Amino acid sequence: MYKIGAVGDKDSILAFKSIGIDVFPAIDGKEARNIIDSLAEENYGLIFVTEHIAQHIEETILRYKKKLVPAIILIPSNQGSLGIGMNDINKNVEKAVGSNIFANSDK
């Protein structure tokens, strides 16, 4: 059975602990990269990563997007959203459906 983890600044990911998700605070991109690589080897199937950390480890995120496991999901931090996670969702929906069904319509 796969485990679930969350990586990011402590204040943003601490709430995940209350619902049974393992939390791994990271201060910078290097630390986050090491944590994510370690989690991937330790049978984590889903890893939530805050957008503020993800922007510093784009190559690591892209490397795992090419693999089935672990799935890396970008989430906003307590400082707000950078729009990176939502942009990824829109791209994946457009790829799967053929058009972005979430796009705002002016009609």
Q: Is the pLDDT of residue 16 over 80?
A: yes
Taking alpha carbons only, the member of 89, 40, 33 closest to residue 59 is 33
Give me the residue spans of the domains in the chain. Answer: 3-77
> Per the structure block, which two tokens stand in for 54?
């993800």
Q: Which residues pair with 47 in a beta bridge?
A: 5, 72
Q: Does the pLDDT at position 10 exceed 70? A: yes
The residue with greater pLDDT, 98 or 51, is 51
37: enclosing H helix or E strand: helix 29-41
> What is the CATH architecture assignment of 3-77?
3-Layer(aba) Sandwich (3.40)
DSSP label of 83: S
* Rg of the chain (C-alpha set): 14
pLDDT at 23 over 80: yes
Residue 58 — very low, low, confident or very high, per pLDDT cuts 50/70/90? very high
Task: Assign 68 a pLDDT band (cuts: 50, 70, 90).
Answer: confident
